[in-house]
Chains A and B, each alone.
Chain A
Amino acid sequence: MTTTTRHLATRIASLGLGLLFAVSACKTGNGETNNPDGASNANEVEPTPAKTIAKPGRVWPPPPPPTAPKPVKFPKIADFRLDNDLAVYVIENHEVPIVSAQLVVRCGYMDHEYLSGFTASMLGEGTRSRSKAKLDEAIEFVGGTLIAGSGMHVSTVFSRSLRDDLKLSLLLMADEVQNATFPAGALTKLKAQAKASLRMATSQPDVLADTLFGMAVYPAGHPYGRPLATNSAIDSIGIEDVRRFHKTFYRSNNAFLLLSGDITAAEAKPLVQRAFGEWTAAELKDLPANPLNGFTRYELPQKLNVHLVNRPGSAQASIRVGNLAMARNHEDWAALEVANGILGAGPNSRLFADLREEQGLTYGISSAVEPGQAPGTFSISTQTRTPTTGAIIAGIFEHIAQMRNEDPPRAEFETVVRQNVGSFPLQVETPQQIVGKVRTQIIYGLPANYWQSYRDNITRVELKDVRQAALRYIHALPVVVVVGDADEIRPQIKRVLPTANVIEYDNQLRKQ
């Protein structure tokens, strides 16, 4: 999740105390899937995946074969539209009497680095008829949740409550969205929090690595490749800016509502009408254009550049290797997903099996394709002890070359396809998971039947497509970012990448 780590909201959330007590389970491989059972008891300790290398010389019996697979239905999604053009989607699931609502507003960090986050955070600070205390009391009384945040492309107000309290949740949500008062005192408080988070974030090597990687891959000014936030930029935000941002983007025809759980479209309609029926639409000409559309030319590096950030005394090096890839709705996505599965997604992948298990160069290494409305990145992320920086970079380049030069063995290819297809039912079990999928489909402009045909699209990938995808999207001249003790690392880079051009930075990402 390289893009998201750059976001201010994540930085603020990283200070959240809730994290303190949760020891989360292993992450799922697919970045788009939320694991609803992520949090667990603080006393629990979980195993790391065991080594995956079988001992030579012993033939192991195969496990009992699977029985015939059953069809997976992606549920039918009902939708309707209010007169003010608010689109509403309903995902029914009556297993437990809970309903979640997500109001997705089409504005995010891409529209403004700071304002989208502050605007979302301030929705809960009071409305024309309810103080913050009153809002808190009302939602907490029913055991519900109401929270807002912003991401790169959209901002989201989320609520969850028992079915019988859906009406209340929607009314509170609608009140915040339409009638927030944005008190100046609350902005001062949030700005102080943001600056505290920024201090903490810039001390973390992974944040520095992700930020610099984005800056190196994207053209100047691109929202996906912004430099570090600054205190002075935070200070310069005024409450009128927040109000203007809210007024511009928080409009019924610039948002959609996802309802999921123990609810039908017929039940939802009057509740949504009552809560959001009076929300005013924007004139289409007043809605700003998508800022990503302003970037029509992306350039690839013509030579190998290594961006080296000096953190003297650092015991570890944080490393990113990757390049610009494709937008989420590109037709090559499925082929790259398979290639990425072979190379670096999960503990069965080559990078993990070789560089972690076989060579012991790192505790964790993975690759990922970042989804975006504009072209996202393909990247490999890892950390290693300072003296093994050269070795792991060399290993990564070898694996990239192998992906580009050779077709994968059929068995390996089939395993990854089977894994991707097989895990699909696990990704559509709960209404929240399905909402996540629908969000992805809408936000990234995927075809309406995308998830219905997802498994077919994966199985349609042929062995030869893997190498084609690697040649196109896993580059031989990638951007390399290393954050660590520069004096120790510089000679190692010279040794393993003798032709590379090394560009050096200080620990605030200022070019040296």
Chain B
Amino acid sequence: MPKRSVWRRLAALLALFGVMSLASTAEAGVISEGKKVGTVLGIEMKVRHFTLGNGLRVYVLEDHSTPMFAMHIAYHVGSRDEKAGRTGFAHLFEHMMFKGSENVPEGGHFRNIQGAGGTVNAFTTADVTQYHQTVPSHYLDMVLWLESDRLQSLAVTEENFDNQRDAVKEEKAMRYDNQPYLLPLQEFFAAAWSGTGYGHMTIGSEADLTAASTADVQLFFDSYYVPNNAVMAIVGDVDYEEVKRKVDQYFGGLAKGPERTPRPSIDHAVDEPFSRVVEDRLARQPLYLLGWKTVSRRSPDYQAVRLMMNAMLRGDSSRLTRLLKDDKRMVVASIPTDSMGGGIDAGMSAGAFVPVPGTTFGAIQDVVRTEVSKVKKRGISGKELQKAQNQITVDVVSSLSTNNGRAREIAGGALFFDDPTYALTELKKYRQVSTRDITRVANKYLTDNWLTLEIVPER
């Protein structure tokens, strides 16, 4: 029998008999409401939102152009919250969420959504665990029911847990251990942030996965899978008032849980260069990575730093890529790694290079050093900046072109920045960066303390 705190079991039981929703009138669970409108370049996001008495925050964007909607529910927990010796747990837990609950059999969540013609999935990062589904619009009740059932009564059993632990190990073997470059890159990023929550891979280690127990599962569930630690975003062919009524119906009966402890801020200071050379048995050619610890996503310099890196590395006409790839023929590929290697509160800015056979990492570093000092001295041109801004504009606008993309952005924006329209708010910030800002951040962050990784094929 799964262990569960008494009040949660009671809440689940009462909700099962409909007592909680009968005891409160439909609207009583909603304690606040509001509206946030973001507008950039003629794109408008009109988000209405409400909060239940148990702390669940819900964001709704109506779009009736196609009879479907996307729903994301994001829990404020990720691999950076894992205890020592339990790496990989947040993601393993995500798998458990598909193993059934009080009223839904194992796999029933998948089967019901797919049977309706919908899609369902989830992802875990260092910062967040997010579950999402896209379905025809007449299945709103089913989606809310499925999500609320597992939130109030997840089936935590030894059998389920063993089964998913094996599935995760299989996933790790297929998606990570059998891919060139991926493992050395992730290990490098983890090492660079060692001592912080970002100091291990989200997929975790084999030994830690083996060590995890159902007691860990229950504790994790009780600590983080509570309505006040979640935000929900619904985008598409739905009616706000109906969503409000139904979310209250399905989630209003859940009790508020403990508040999660705030996460520590991450020190970006680097005292000396950090370099690694790693052999990779799956790689057929070397891969070089070169970068800096720069700023967190919350820093006012974040947008300028990202634009600077893109101006140097993104696309065949960017500064470094043109020089290394077309002019000097030293690399076959050169790409900015953007948001890799950290998370919301830990930023690394780097470029990855695949050399033309025979080109040493040292030779590439010389070129980079020269260009970096030019940027520090003279900055970049207005045209280079505008190009980087235009590229990011198209990225952002594209990410908002689907209901699923918008729901994803709204949930993330609400969770991390308390702004469901943060995608547009941030786009505005990108477009306000000046060439002077670029010169300033280049001098501030592109220090001599480089982070370098050299991946070479196993000899």
A425-B66 in contact (CB<8A): yes
| Docked complex: B425-447 residues within 8 A CB-CB of A | none
A143 touching B125 in the complex, CB below 8 Å, given contacts A66-B139, A422-B116: no
A64-B142 in contact (CB<8A): yes
Give complex CA distance A63, B148 in Å. Answer: 12
Q: Which residues of B contact A161 (CB under 8 A)?
A: 394
B182-A20 in contact (CB<8A): yes
Against A, the Cβ 8 Å flags (1 = close, 0 = not) of B377-416 are 0000001001101111111011011111100100000000
Q: Which residues of A contact B39 (CB under 8 A)?
A: none
Q: Which residues of A contact B98 (CB under 8 A)?
A: 47, 49-50
- The one of A28, A51, A64, A143 that contacts B393, using a Cβ cutoff of 8 Å: A143
- The one of A66, A140, A141 that contacts B142, using a Cβ cutoff of 8 Å: A66
Shortest beta-carbon distance, A188 to chain B, in Å? 13
Q: B152 at interface (Cβ–Cβ under 8 A)?
A: no
A41 touching B125 in the complex, CB below 8 Å, given contacts A49-B107, A67-B140: yes
Q: B106 at interface (Cβ–Cβ under 8 A)?
A: yes
- Of all chain B residues, the one with the shortest Cβ separation from A142 is B390
Q: A133 at interface (Cβ–Cβ under 8 A)?
A: yes
Give complex CA distance A121, B383 in Å. Answer: 28
Against B, the Cβ 8 Å flags (1 = close, 0 = not) of A413-432 are 00100111111111011100
B402-A37 in contact (CB<8A): yes
| Docked complex: B16-39 residues within 8 A CB-CB of A | none
Q: A323 at interface (Cβ–Cβ under 8 A)?
A: no
- The one of A53, A67, A132, A348 that contacts B138, using a Cβ cutoff of 8 Å: A67
Q: B145 at interface (Cβ–Cβ under 8 A)?
A: yes
A97-B317 in contact (CB<8A): no
Q: Which residues of B contact A423 (CB under 8 A)?
A: 117-119
Against B, the Cβ 8 Å flags (1 = close, 0 = not) of A73-114 are 000000000000000000001011110000000000000000
B340-A43 in contact (CB<8A): yes
Shortest beta-carbon distance, B165 to chain A, in Å? 13
Q: B77 at interface (Cβ–Cβ under 8 A)?
A: no
B397-A96 in contact (CB<8A): yes
Against A, the Cβ 8 Å flags (1 = close, 0 = not) of B137-177 are 11111100110000000000000000110010011001100
Q: B322 at interface (Cβ–Cβ under 8 A)?
A: yes
Q: B218 at interface (Cβ–Cβ under 8 A)?
A: no
- The one of A37, A50, A66 that contacts B110, using a Cβ cutoff of 8 Å: A50
Q: Which residues of B contact A97 (CB under 8 A)?
A: 41-43, 397
A44-B123 in contact (CB<8A): yes
Shortest beta-carbon distance, B95 to chain A, in Å? 5
- The one of B65, B104, B145, B318 that contacts A95, using a Cβ cutoff of 8 Å: B65
Give complex CA distance A28, B134 in Å. Answer: 12
Shortest beta-carbon distance, A412 to chain B, in Å? 11
B181-A50 in contact (CB<8A): no
A50-B66 in contact (CB<8A): no
Shortest beta-carbon distance, A376 to chain B, in Å? 24
A425 touching B67 in the complex, CB below 8 Å, given contacts A52-B107, A67-B140: yes
Q: Which residues of A contact B146 (CB under 8 A)?
A: 63
Q: B115 at interface (Cβ–Cβ under 8 A)?
A: yes
Q: A72 at interface (Cβ–Cβ under 8 A)?
A: yes
B352-A17 in contact (CB<8A): yes
Q: A68 at interface (Cβ–Cβ under 8 A)?
A: yes
Q: B136 at interface (Cβ–Cβ under 8 A)?
A: yes
Shortest beta-carbon distance, A74 to chain B, in Å? 10
**B95, B117, B145, B174, most chain A CB atoms within 10 A:** B117
| Docked complex: B63-86 residues within 8 A CB-CB of A | 63, 65-68
Against B, the Cβ 8 Å flags (1 = close, 0 = not) of A43-61 are 1111111111111001011
**A18, A60, A143, most chain B CB atoms within 10 A:** A143
Q: B316 at interface (Cβ–Cβ under 8 A)?
A: yes
B106-A21 in contact (CB<8A): no
B107-A28 in contact (CB<8A): no
Give complex CA distance A42, B94 in Å. Answer: 17
Shortest beta-carbon distance, B455 to chain A, in Å? 11
**B104, B123, B237, B326, most chain A CB atoms within 10 A:** B123
Q: Which residues of A contact B369 (CB under 8 A)?
A: none
Q: A26 at interface (Cβ–Cβ under 8 A)?
A: yes
Q: A294 at interface (Cβ–Cβ under 8 A)?
A: no
Give complex CA distance A363, B42 in Å. Answer: 46
| Docked complex: B111-125 residues within 8 A CB-CB of A | 111-112, 114-119, 121-125
Q: A129 at interface (Cβ–Cβ under 8 A)?
A: no
Q: Which residues of A contact B343 (CB under 8 A)?
A: 43
- Of all chain B residues, the one with the shortest Cβ separation from A357 is B107
Give complex CA distance A28, B119 in Å. Answer: 8
| Docked complex: B295-323 residues within 8 A CB-CB of A | 314-318, 322
A17-B107 in contact (CB<8A): no
B333-A17 in contact (CB<8A): yes
B122-A47 in contact (CB<8A): yes
B136-A52 in contact (CB<8A): no
Q: B126 at interface (Cβ–Cβ under 8 A)?
A: yes
- The one of A45, A347, A425 that contacts B114, using a Cβ cutoff of 8 Å: A347
Q: A410 at interface (Cβ–Cβ under 8 A)?
A: no
Give complex CA distance A133, B323 in Å. Answer: 11
- Of all chain B residues, the one with the shortest Cβ separation from A421 is B117
Give complex CA distance A55, B105 in Å. Answer: 7
Give complex CA distance A445, B10 in Å. Answer: 61
- Of all chain B residues, the one with the shortest Cβ separation from A419 is B117
Q: Which residues of B contact A51 (CB under 8 A)?
A: 106-107, 163
| Docked complex: A141-171 residues within 8 A CB-CB of B | 141-144, 160-162
Q: Which residues of B contact A46 (CB under 8 A)?
A: 121-123
Give complex CA distance A418, B175 in Å. Answer: 32
A45-B134 in contact (CB<8A): no
Shortest beta-carbon distance, A167 to chain B, in Å? 15
A429-B95 in contact (CB<8A): no
Shortest beta-carbon distance, A319 to chain B, in Å? 18
B402-A71 in contact (CB<8A): no
Q: Which residues of A contact B257 (CB under 8 A)?
A: none
B136-A69 in contact (CB<8A): yes
Give complex CA distance A71, B112 in Å. Answer: 21
**A41, A52, A429, A430, most chain B CB atoms within 10 A:** A429
Q: B359 at interface (Cβ–Cβ under 8 A)?
A: no
B67-A70 in contact (CB<8A): yes
Q: Which residues of B contact A488 (CB under 8 A)?
A: none
**A23, A36, A45, A61, most chain B CB atoms within 10 A:** A45
B117-A347 in contact (CB<8A): no
B397-A98 in contact (CB<8A): yes
Q: B365 at interface (Cβ–Cβ under 8 A)?
A: no
Q: A332 at interface (Cβ–Cβ under 8 A)?
A: no
Shortest beta-carbon distance, B104 to chain A, in Å? 7
Q: Which residues of A contact B317 (CB under 8 A)?
A: 133, 136-137, 140-141
Shortest beta-carbon distance, B271 to chain A, in Å? 26
**A47, A51, A97, A136, most chain B CB atoms within 10 A:** A47
- Of all chain A residues, the one with the shortest Cβ separation from B175 is A23
B138-A66 in contact (CB<8A): yes
Give complex CA distance A64, B99 in Å. Answer: 20
Give complex CA distance A51, B117 in Å. Answer: 18
* 5 contacting pairs across A/B (C-beta < 8 A): A47-B98, A54-B108, A67-B141, A68-B138, A69-B67
A64-B141, A346-B114 given; 18 more Cβ-contact pairs under 8 Å: A18-B335, A20-B182, A42-B182, A43-B125, A47-B94, A50-B107, A52-B111, A98-B394, A143-B387, A143-B389, A143-B394, A162-B390, A419-B115, A425-B136, A425-B137, A426-B136, A429-B402, A430-B401
Interface residues of A (CB under 8 A from B): 17-18, 20-21, 23, 25-26, 28, 36-37, 40-55, 58, 60-61, 63-72, 93, 95-98, 132-133, 136-137, 140-144, 160-162, 200, 346-348, 363, 415, 418-426, 428-430
